[in-house]
Amino acid sequence: MIKREAKTHRSVRRTQRDLRNSLIELMKEKPILRISAKEIYEAADIGRTTFYAHYKDQYDLLEEIETETITQLEELFNRYVDSVKHKKKNILDLTMEALNYIADNGSPLQVLLSENGNLLFQKKFFSQYITRLQKIMQNKSANQEDAYLYEGYSIYTVHGSIGLIQYWLKNKMHIPIPTLAKMLNNLRKDILP
């Protein structure tokens, strides 16, 4: 009984992985608004009933991918925060690690941050990291005027960084990761007081 259950779990995971991969591949060509559930399950060579046993629709599948991606990035950032407490990593290391994660062909983040990605996800992504930066900056602020400056700097820095990463992705990652990491790190240093 246990072996059959383990085999079933592997089969379910494989089916979900195939559906996720199919959606990501389709989103490389067009936005989610132009992708049907049928296209996804046919590309994955999975039946309609199987698709709907796992997901309500293509948006449900996309939301699962987005949630998993955010969770993986949170784990990366949390490892960084923990290591900073122990002086093991610096922000350049974190930036290079994040860029390597984005550059990984298995990472859906390339598609999620592209023009074909869900704008709601991108807003959530931006706001999450703006909030993180603002908290760090607020700890440095002595008065309300500084708090407003830090808020503006945080928004500008995050959106500018994401814009540069989107440009990098659109141009087939033509800038070497160490160079891009230094560029992003220097921009952050130049903008944030």
- Domains recognised in the chain with CATH numbers: 2-191 (1.10.357.10)
In the chain, pLDDT over 70 holds for what percent of residues?
A: 78
Please state the pTM of the whole predicted model.
Answer: 0.75
Name which of 57, 1, 2 is nearest 32 in CA terms: 57
Would you state the pLDDT for residue 103? 86
- Per-residue model confidence as pLDDT tens digits over 33-79: 999 999 999 999 999 999 999 999 999 999 999 998 888 888 877 77
Query: How much of the chain is helix, strand and coil, in % rounded to 5?
Result: 80, 0, 20
Q: What CA–CA distance (Å, rounded) separates 61 from 40?
A: 10
How far CA 63 is from CA of 23, 32, 138, 156, in Å, comes to 11, 11, 31, 27
Q: How many residues would you count in the chain?
A: 193
- Give the whole-angstrom CA distance, residue 52 versus residue 94: 39
59 touches 46 (CB < 8 A)? no
- pLDDT digits over 116-129, tens only? 888 888 877 777 76
Q: Please give the mean pLDDT across all residues of the chain.
A: 81
